Structure 1
Amino acid sequence: MISTVFFDFDGVLTTDKYGSDTTNRYLGNATGLGFERVDRVMECYNGELLLGRLSHRDIWPNLCRELEADIDFALLDEAFRSTPMNEGVLALAWRLRGSFRLGIITDNKQDRMDCLRALHGLDGLFDPIVVSAAIGADKSDGEIFRHALALCGLRAEQCLFIDNSRRNLETAGRMGMATIFHDDEINDVERLSLALRQSLDAAFTA
């Protein structure tokens, strides 16, 4: 029986497919450097940031040097806060709260998630919130899913995972989790709600 529903973050609980796009778009606009230029330089550090091997503060001097601009580090927090939350999916999560345990599993930067957890009170709805940068592992090999299961003391068969990446869902599915694909381009929350209802009803009647 499914007792826990895990959500991906970007592209599911937010309306931007990638958190990097949100951050780099804001920085590009705020500095006048443009998204493409900022994104090209930031991409070089993205993998290390996602696995917590580097922080944004670590890379900031190099970033400024490569962009040939003295960028105020405070802009980064503003960039994080510009993240467009997916209010429809959040409302759906609130409806599930009480009947199911809810969590987040996300490949993400630690400082960004710390900012958004505080800004939107995410800890009041989701527990646990498992961030790749915090544990040094992402969704590619399943380690982050194993970590989430261990935190909750659950078997994979007791969990359902929602993501906008089919590759990530395949990894979770091979472990035994039920999965639902959410198409971030369409962002059909009613379709997601129906898929959830069907999956959860089936779990209860199995």
Structure 2
Amino acid sequence: MIKAVFFDYDGVLTTDKTGSQTTARYISRVTGIELSAVRDAFSRYNRDLTLGKVTHAQIWPGICSALGQELNFALLHEAFESTPMNSKVFSLARRLKERHSVGIITDNKKDRIDHLRQSQGLSSLFDPIIVSAEVGSDKRSAEIFLHALRHAGASPEESVFIDNNKDNLEAPHALGIKTIFHDDEKNDIQALCRALETLGVHAGNA
């Protein structure tokens, strides 16, 4: 019996493949700075941000220096809020919550997810919300998944994890967690529901 269904955030609960894509696109659009330049400025810090070694506040002077402009830090929060919600997957999660625990396991920045907990009301629907920057471990290893299982009170065999990156399914699969690949480019919610039904999770109508 499945007790817990865990969703990746970016690319599953959102319609952008990554959070970095969302942030860079917004800052580029608002400032007029070339998108590739914004991506490059952030990319050097991405892994340390994702593992919680630094925060956006700490690296912001370096971002501004790389871009050659003094940008208001509030711009970053606006970029967070521009994250496009995948409304059909949110609706699916609400249906699943009637019978299961629904949570998030994400390789992400703590300050970004903290902001989105409020602006998107994530905490009212998902529990637990496990963020790599808080755990100090990403989805390449088992630790973040074990952390999620402990919080959900579920065993690997009682759990499902959905991600839009096949590489991120290897560690949970090795633990015995049932895994589903969600192709973010197709965003086929009916296919996702069928995959859940195959695992014994009643997903309802997409």
TM-score under structure 2 normalisation? 0.95
Tell me, yes or no, if the aligned pair for 1:51 and 1:138 is still in contact at 8 Å: yes
Residue of structure 1 equivalent to 2:93: 93
The DSSP-based 3-state class of the residue aligned with 1:71 is: coil
1:201/1:102 CA distance change after superposition, 3 Å: closer
Shift of 1:152: 2.2
Helix, strand or coil at the partner of 1:12: helix
Q: CA RMSD in A?
A: 1.1
8 A contact 1:161–1:180 mirrored in 2? yes
**1:156 paired residue number:** 156
The whole-number CA distance in structure 1 between the counterparts of 2:201 and 2:150 is: 25
Counterpart of 1:138?
138
Aligned partner of 1:51 in structure 2 is 51
Aligned residue number for residue 166 of structure 1: 166
Q: Which secondary structure state, in structure 2, belongs to the residue aligned with residue 29 of structure 1?
A: helix
Distance in 2, matches of 1:6 and 1:201, equals 12
Aligned-residue sequence identity (percent) comes to 51
Partner AA of 2:180 in structure 1: I
The residue identity in structure 2 corresponding to 1:152 is A
**1:111-122 counterparts in 2 under 5 A?**
111-122=111-122
What are the superposed Cα offsets for residues 61-82 of structure 1, whole Å, 9 maximum, x if unpaired? 1111111101110000000000
Structure 1 residues 119-152: Cα deviation after superposition (integer angstroms, max 9, x where no partner): 1111111100000011111011121001111222
User: Which residue in 2 is equivalent to 1:192?
Assistant: 192
One-letter code aligned to 2:198: Q
Distance in 2 between residues matched to 1:65 and 1:177, nearest whole Å: 44
The 4+ residue runs of structure 1 with deviation greater than 4 A are: none
Letter paired with 1:51: L
Q: Give the Cα separation in 2 of the matches to 1:65 and 1:105.
A: 33
Cα displacement string for residues 92-145 of structure 1 (whole angstroms, at most 9, x for unaligned residues): 111111200000000001111011111111111110000001111101112100
Q: What TM-score comes out, normalization by structure 1 length? A: 0.95
Structure 1's unaligned 5+ residue stretches are none
Counterpart in the other structure of 2:70: 70
Give the distance between the partners of 1:201 and 1:69, measured in 2 at CA: 50
Q: Which runs of 5+ in 2 are unaligned?
A: none
- The residue number in structure 2 matching 1:175 is 175
Query: What letter matches 2:153 in structure 1?
Result: G
TM superposition shift of 1:201: 5.2
For residue 154 of structure 1, report the CA deviation from its aligned partner. Answer: 2.2
Partner SS, residue 169 of structure 1 = helix
Give the direction of change, closer, same or farther, for the CA distance of 1:186–1:174 in structure 2 (3 Å limit).
same
